[in-house]
A and B are shown apart, each in its own frame.
Chain A
C-alpha cells in the first residue's frame, strides 16, 4: 500500500511537492483525477493512479489537457470532487473550455493544478499560467512549501464549493519536483453519490442545466461570476496562507509568493537582516486580499517583489497601492520593473541576496575572494568539458534521425523536418544531426508541414517532413493530419512510435492496451487511423537503418498526398528494453584503424552514442559496457565493419 493513503492522522512523511498535492486531493475526498503528462506535473496523476480503485477514485491520462478538464468538469457537474492536472503549456490547450467552465460555474469542488516551469528546465518556454486566472476571473492560490501544497489543495476544494467555480492552484518545478516533510491530515471515509441535476431553470446554479452564457445576456452569468471573485477575496482576508514574518516596521518589505518566499527567507537569514527586513508571503495571489495587503504595506515605505516568471503579483499590488495611496501613503517599489529582479529565468536565493545587497548597500561574497582565486588557479589545469543534452544510449530516435539525416542528404534538395514536443525535440541538436528546423507546440509540426506542402505550387522545391511521437499524435497531431489529407498537402509525417509517453515517464496513451490505473483497454492503432483518414502508411523498425532510409527517400520523391511512416521501436528506458541488452557489441581493434580509416571517425564524431567512446591511446572506437544498451545500430554505421554484434542468449 502506498504511504499516500496512510490513514494515521498527524504522521509525517517526506513527500515530493507533487505527492503533497495528490495527498491534499485525497484528503479532500476527490472521486476523479485527470490530466495529460508534462514535466513538472506528471507525478500527481501517477501517484493518484496507483491508489485508484473502482467506485472510489477514477484516474485517467486523457488524450489532451482540454479533454482532461472536460472529464473532471463532468464529475463536478454530478456533484463529485475532481482534480485536473497539467503543465503550464497544457493550460493553453485547455483554455478554450476553461473560459466557458469559469462562466458556467461548477458544483462539486473542482481544482485545476497547472505546474509552471520557470527557467524552462524541462520545457520549450517558461510560460505563465497565472494570467489565465485573472483573464478568466477564477481564484488563484500559490503554495510556498510542501505542507502548504497539501493543505492548500485540500482547502481549494472547499473554496470551489463555496463559490461554485473552478479554483486554480499553481505549482512550479522547484515545488513539484522538490521534497519535504509533510504532516498528514485525515482521509474522508464516506463518498458522495453522483447525480447530474438539470430540471431547474436555465440559470439555477444548483439544479439547472450547466451552460456557459445566455447569448446576448452577459449579465446572466458574468455578473454572478464576478460576485464569486468578490466572495473569494473576502475569504482570502482571513486565510493563514497569507502571513507576515519580520519586525514591526521593517526598512524594506519583501512581498513574495510560491517558492520565492523560501528564497527570500534564506537571503534574509544569510545576510543577517532579520531585524531590518520583513517578508510578506502571499498565498492567495488572485483576487488579492486587499485589506490584509494594505495593512502590511502600511508598515514601511520600500517594497521589493520576488516572484517567478512575470510581475503578476507586483502589478496587482501596485494597482492596489495606487488606489489606496491616501490610506497607506506613497511607496517605492522594487522588483522586475525596476530591474532588481530578473525578468527571465527562475529565481534562487543568490538572486535575492544580490537584490537585497544592492538596495541596502551591503557587501556579500558567496565565495570569499581568496578562495575564488584559488579555485580559478586550480581549475585552469582541469577544464570541465560541457555536457550537452543527448539521446540515451540505445534510443530509437538517434537511429530514426540518422536515417532521416542521410535520406535528406541523399535527396539533396535541402529538405527539412518540422519538429514537435517530446524527447525527439532534441533533433534540433547535434545528437539528432540538426535535422529539426521548426519547433513550437504539441502537434504543430504536422500543422506547419501541412502549410509548407501547400507552398509547392508557388515553387517551393524542398521536401517536407514532420515528426511526432505516439502520444503527441493523439494529443493534437490528428486534427492537423486530417487537415493535410483533406487538402492533399504533400509531405511525409514520420511518427516516432516508442510505445508510451516516454519523456515524462511512460504514461499510457490511447495507442496502448492499458490505462493510467493499469486496467486493460482497447488499443487504438495509429496506422489504422491514418489509413482510415486517407494517408498511405508504412511501418518500419528504425533500428533497420537501411530499410528506413530507402522508405524515406521513396516517400520524399512523391509529389502528391500525405504519407505516414511509422518508425516503431520501444524507448531504451522502457521496462521491456531496460531489463536486458539484445546484443553484445564488440569493436574489432584489428579492423578499426581509427584516424587512418578514411571514415573520419563516423561512429564517434557524427553518430555520437554515449555507449560508443573513443579510445585515445589505441586510436580506435571502444564500447563502454556499462553505458551501451545493446541496440546493435552502430554495427550498421561503421563502414569498415569493425563493430560487430552478437545476439545475447
Chain B
C-alpha cells in the first residue's frame, strides 16, 4: 500500500508540473528505468524507440539498450530505457533496478521480474499470450492469465493488464498493440509523456495516412487506463 501511495504522489507530481519546462526533479528517481519486454516480432523495438524519442523531446538524456537479431525469431526480447536528467547510463539496467515494466506478452513479466524487481516497480502488461513452440509441442505448459495476474499482483507495487492486441485488432491491425500500450503508459503519468510529442515522433516513422490511426490507437490506450482509474475511484 505504501508503494501505491508513493506511486500516486509521483503521479500528482507530474500533474502539477504540466508547464513542462525542463528542470531538476522531474524524475522520481535518477536514472528512471523502464523495461519493455515481449516476443520478437511484436514491435517492442518500435515501442521503445518511440518512447525514447518522446522523452528526448522532453529534454531528457535517454539510453536504450536492445536485444534483437537471433532473438527476433520467436525468442524473448527486452529493451532497457535509462532516463536521466544529465547522464548517459549503461545500456543494461542493473538487477533490481526496474521502475516500470511494459510487457507486450504477459508471461514475459514473470520471466524478468525475479531479476529486476524492487518494491516500487510498476507493471503494465498486454493480456494476449504468444505460446512458445515448446508449449505448442506439449513439452512445457503456459500458466493461465489468472495465475499470471495473481503472481504479478502479489509481487509488485501496482499492475495493469490490458487487452492491447485485442483492441488493436478491433481497430484494424494487431501490430499496433504496442501503441495501445504506449498510450496506456502515458496515462499512468509515471513519466512525462506528451501526446503532441507522440504525434511528432510517429509522423517521422509511419506513412502520412497511418498517423491518425496511430493517434487513435494511442488514445484508446489512454482510455483503457482512465477507465481503470475511474472504476477504482
Contact = CB atoms under 8 A, between A and B. Distances in A.
| Interface-centre pick from A122, A178, A366 (highest chain B CB count, 10 A) | A178
B117 A349 contact: no
Interface stretch (B4-12, B64-72, B186-194, B225-233): B64-72
Interface of A, secondary structure class, is: mixed
B133 A371 contact: no
A78 to B, nearest CB: 35
Given A179-B63, A387-B74, A614-B138, A265 B90 contact: yes
A263 B92 contact: yes
Given A386-B132, A388-B132, A610-B130, A605 B95 contact: no
A164 interface: no
A136 B115 CA distance: 42
A383 B151 CA distance: 10
Nearest to A386: B134
Contact of A626 (B66, B71, B94, B169): B169
Contacts of A332: none
Given A146-B88, A390-B133, A266 B151 contact: no
Contacts of A175: 91
Contacts, number: 192
A332 to B, nearest CB: 26
Given A179-B63, A386-B134, A614-B136, A378 B154 contact: yes
Interface in B70-96: 70-71, 73-76, 88-92, 94-96
B41 interface: yes
A431 interface: yes
A612 B63 contact: no
B118 interface: yes
A374 B131 CA distance: 26
A375 B90 contact: no
A367 B121 CA distance: 12
B92 A181 contact: no
A372 B117 CA distance: 9
A392 B65 contact: no
Contact of B74 (A266, A610, A626): A610
Contacts of A375: 113-114, 117, 155
A259 B90 contact: yes
B110 A379 contact: yes
B123 interface: no
B211 interface: no
A608 B94 contact: no
A4 to B, nearest CB: 12
Contacts of B52: 14, 179
Given A353-B94, A385-B140, A610 B63 contact: no
A174 B91 contact: yes
Interface string A374-406: 111011011111111111100000000000000
B13 interface: no
A262 B91 contact: yes
A179 B97 contact: no
Contacts of B41: 392, 573
Contact of A350 (B95, B119, B131, B140): B95
B63 A379 contact: no
Contacts of B113: 375, 379
A90 interface: no
Interface string B120-161: 000000001011111111101111000110110011000000
Contact of B94 (A146, A366, A624): A366
B169 A385 contact: no
B203 interface: no
A173 B70 CA distance: 13
A432 to B, nearest CB: 11
Given A121-B69, A263-B92, A179 B136 contact: no
A614 B134 CA distance: 11
A430 B133 contact: yes
B62 A179 contact: yes
A604 B151 contact: no
Contacts of A374: 154-155
Contacts of A604: 136-138
Interface in A153-198: 173-175, 177-181
A426 B74 CA distance: 12
A613 B117 CA distance: 31
Contact of B92 (A39, A348, A378): A348
B30 to A, nearest CB: 10
B51 to A, nearest CB: 10
Contact of B61 (A181, A379, A389, A573): A181
A385 B141 contact: yes
B133 A262 contact: no
Given A174-B65, A374-B155, A262 B88 contact: yes
Contact of B69 (A40, A353, A388, A391): A40
A344 to B, nearest CB: 17
Nearest to B81: A179
A145 interface: yes
A39 B69 CA distance: 7
B97 A378 contact: no
Given A174-B91, A371-B119, A610-B133, A601 B151 contact: no
B64 A178 contact: yes
B174 interface: yes
Contact of A266 (B75, B89, B110, B141): B89
Interface of A: 3, 12-14, 39-40, 121-122, 145-147, 173-175, 177-181, 259, 262-263, 265-267, 270, 348-350, 353, 365-367, 371-372, 374-376, 378-379, 381-392, 423, 426, 430-431, 573, 601, 604-606, 608-610, 612-614, 624, 626-627
15 contacts: A3-B204, A14-B53, A122-B68, A174-B65, A179-B63, A181-B56, A265-B90, A348-B92, A348-B94, A349-B90, A371-B118, A379-B151, A382-B150, A390-B73, A612-B136
Nearest 5 CB-CB pairings of A with B: A122-B69, A366-B96, A366-B95, A178-B91, A385-B140
